[in-house]
Structure 1
């Protein structure tokens, strides 16, 4: 009997919208005072992990860092670095066009791929024996205020507006399923205060974290937008509303 073909992963995210969102973010990052605190946090975490482990890679692949700061830091340590960006055509859901890396650092991109197990497998195959993957992205528990605000804005017609996200338990299962050795799963919160609903949405767009759902909800009309702003104000204290970003980091080795 012929082997059955595994089912295709569900199409949750639209690849063209994902690429467009990242290209828009790259353009917005050229503006003065562009926000990049999420990427900064992920980069700092990668550097701290490498220092703690005393791991000195010779060749590294950095995915998703439009600031270039992680690559610069690695090069100062004598590491040969290849940089890749989904907005420039790099496809994490296909076999990599290069391999043999001692380190792959994926920053803020894997939360919007349709086939996350497949993406992790492609990354493992691109590692050299003894190589390490560090993948950080937004996870379950992120944007609780925005979720409440969007429910209030949509009133009795709630629509899909915020991405489904991976939690810690699922992250651990994914690493085991994709055959990474010595997996480590961490989640940490990053809280940011906002003075306006517009600034919250602007920061998400500037950091490529706006919606790229394949089946997005309808645009907010004038009345819904007014409800969203009112809900934002109600959630605040002393003119500031605190939003939480939960950053999940998956790390593992190729034996």
Structure 2
């Protein structure tokens, strides 16, 4: 069987996360939205959870359901060490089969080399009837950043924002991995920035900058042109909107007792403007 091509640099991914760890809490707003959505979904499920895997734990801010034991796992050494967890990649999980009854993955699956393989491993580590809840940045995100970078590098544009998964593909990926009752939906978040530098600072602080294997540095002249193009797209108050499309995935590990009553209710796609302190983006 042929392994899928690796488009992401695993070492760069670890380094980006390690550099982000010391100041992560100043840039954690996207994951906070993801965790809010995930908690809303598990709270609608009429069952208890005993063993939870926090996959991509960041600063271990996920509070598990009451009474549950939690194992932490992160692609970065610094986050994993601080959380008392395990470091590794989601498509190379080290856990035994049927070890958890709830797996939560918030904010990292969009940069996994083998996403179908990772989802299959997540399904395997779940006990029969176990629940998977995931969230990550999906297709349609960072449209303004993509546009200004293309404008800045018209003659020789480079790929600087990695490929993103469409919400329509989410359910197919879950089915392919062996999940039952799959649900994929999305929430759109708009954040308004005073400068391109502020946006890039957030992406660095999230550990979300370019980790593609085939990447090249952005020159100063191109960066200046991109910043000017970003400013030219500002609204009347001088701030430029950027969109983040958050894809949510819900799936159940197969079980003889499976029934539709366990399905987390699907939600329609929604959009919100993130309320942020004015000084943050000024």
Distance, in Å, in 2 between the alignment partners of 1:57 and 1:96 is: 21
Match of 1:133 in 2: 132
Q: Say how many residue pairs are matched.
A: 243
* Superposed CA RMSD: 1.3
2:223 is the alignment partner of 1:225:
yes
1:12 aligns with 2:7: yes
1:25 Cα shift? Answer: 1.4
Partner of 2:22: 27
| Pick aligned residue for 2:58 from 66, 70, 76 | 66
What residue ranges of structure 2 are gaps of 5+ in the alignment? 78-86, 255-282
Q: Over residues 27-69 of structure 1, what are the superposed CA-to-partner deviations in whole Å (9 max), with x where a residue is unaligned?
A: 2226xxx121111011111111111223421110001232322
1:152-198 per-position Cα deviation (integer Å, ceiling 9, x unaligned): 11121110100001101221111111110000101111111111111
Structure-1 separation of matches of 2:126 and 2:58: 22
TM-score by length of 1: 0.91
1:200-251 CA deviation, whole Å, 9 max, x = no partner? Answer: 00101111111100001x3222221111111110111121011000011111
Does the Cα contact within 8 Å between 1:103 and 1:131 map onto a contact in 2? yes
Equivalent residue, structure 2, for 1:57:
49
Give the drift of 1:130.
Answer: 0.9
CA contact (8 A) 2:89 2:112 kept: no
Consecutive unaligned residues in structure 1, runs of 5 or more:
1-5
CA distance in 1, matches of 2:207, 2:185: 22
Q: Counterpart of 2:280?
A: none
Give, in whole Å, the separation in 2 of the partners of 1:150 and 1:204: 15
1-structure distance, mates of 2:38, 2:249: 11
The answer as to whether partners of 1:39 and 1:65 remain within 8 angstroms in 2 is no
C-alpha contact (below 8 Å) 1:96/1:122 kept by paired residues:
no
Q: Greater CA deviation, 103-112 or 84-93? A: 84-93
Report the Cα distance in structure 2 between the residues aligned to 1:235 and 1:139, rounded to whole angstroms: 23
Q: Does 1:37 align with 2:29?
A: yes
> 1:188 maps to which residue?
187
Structure 2 residue matching 1:25: 3-state secondary structure: helix
TM-score by length of 2: 0.83
Q: 1-side partners of 2:228 and 2:200: how far apart?
A: 15
Task: State whether residues 96 and 126 of structure 1, in contact with CA within 8 Å, keep that contact through their aligned partners in structure 2.
Answer: no
Q: Which runs of 4+ in 1 moved over 6 A?
A: none
